[in-house]
Amino acid sequence: MSTTARLGTGWRLGELAARPGQPSKDRLTPGTHEFGTGLLHVPADLPDGPVPLVVLLHGAGSNPERALTLTRDRTAVVYAPKSRARTWDAIHGNFGPDVEALDRALAELFEHFDVKTAAIVGFSDGASYALSLGLVNGTLFEDVVAFSPGFVAPGARAGRPKVFVSHGRHDGVLPIENTSRMIVPALRIVGYRVDYREFTGGHEVPTTVADAAFRRIL
């Protein structure tokens, strides 16, 4: 049965049905391609055989092009979707169309690439969404990376992905005291392994922090 045929109906719960399998189509060529609702970047130095996948989520009001600046030099297939509205569906309280769109895009992506590991990464609202979606789909994503998240949406959780969280001590958009300093202890209490990095700065992703995160997942 094809990956597309296995798509599920749990989108409103944040559940992704697409899973890696034996690809049935040729690999996409190196470069940045329009794919699904966003962009897919295939590096020129991608090795033969199974490859790592990074799902990269932009912040509110941003776009896949800006998100990809974090990962263009990484040796991984990177899919950066675009939220249907200004930000991701669960930020307003409910999973839905963004989960469905991502599930369909991943199903198609798995037809082109033999994926050995998958990580979900986001900044700001994208970080909140990465945490929320990544913990629901911990049997798909081995790593969840959240750069300056605001919250974690409630929902059933599966698997036990490794978590990386970073936050600036002087963040004026999502103040650290009400966000990561509450999120990280709560995740650790229920058993998640969290690599937490605070830094002197604002609402941003310093290069050293991004490098530390991608060293873990790649």
> What is the domain-level CATH number for residue 113?
3.40.50.1820
Site of tokens 């890696």: 20
Strands 51-57 and 194-199, sheet pairing: unpaired
Q: What's the total number of domains in the chain?
A: 1
- The CA distance from 44 to 47, in Å, is 9
pLDDT at residue 30, as a whole number: 96
Helix (H, G, I), strand (E, B) or coil at 185: helix
| 48 backbone dihedrals φ, ψ, rounded to 5° | -70, 160
- The CA distance from 91 to 128, in Å, is 8
- The CA distance from 94 to 164, in Å, is 24
Average pLDDT of the chain to the nearest whole number: 94
Which of 179 and 155 is assigned the larger pLDDT? 179
Range of the structural domain that residue 167 is part of:
4-217
Predicted confidence band of residue 154 (pLDDT cuts 50, 70, 90): confident
pLDDT at residue 5, as a whole number: 43
pLDDT at residue 40, as a whole number: 97
Q: Which of 197, 93, 189 is nearest to 145 (CA)?
A: 197
pLDDT, tens only, 129-139: 999 999 999 99
Is residue 135 within 8 Å of residue 116, measured between CB atoms? no
By CB neighbour count within 10 A (0-12 exposed, 13-18 middle, 19+ buried), where does 193 fall? exposed
Q: Considering the chain, what percentage of its residues have pLDDT values greater than 90?
A: 86
pLDDT at residue 155, as a whole number: 85
Residues 6 or more apart whose CB falls under 8 angstroms from that of 101 comprise 36, 37, 81, 84
pLDDT at residue 10, as a whole number: 84
pLDDT, tens only, 58-113: 999 999 999 999 987 789 999 999 999 999 999 988 899 999 999 999 999 999 99
Confidence check: pLDDT of 3 > 60: no
Confidence check: pLDDT of 172 > 70: yes
Structure tokens at 50: 């199974």
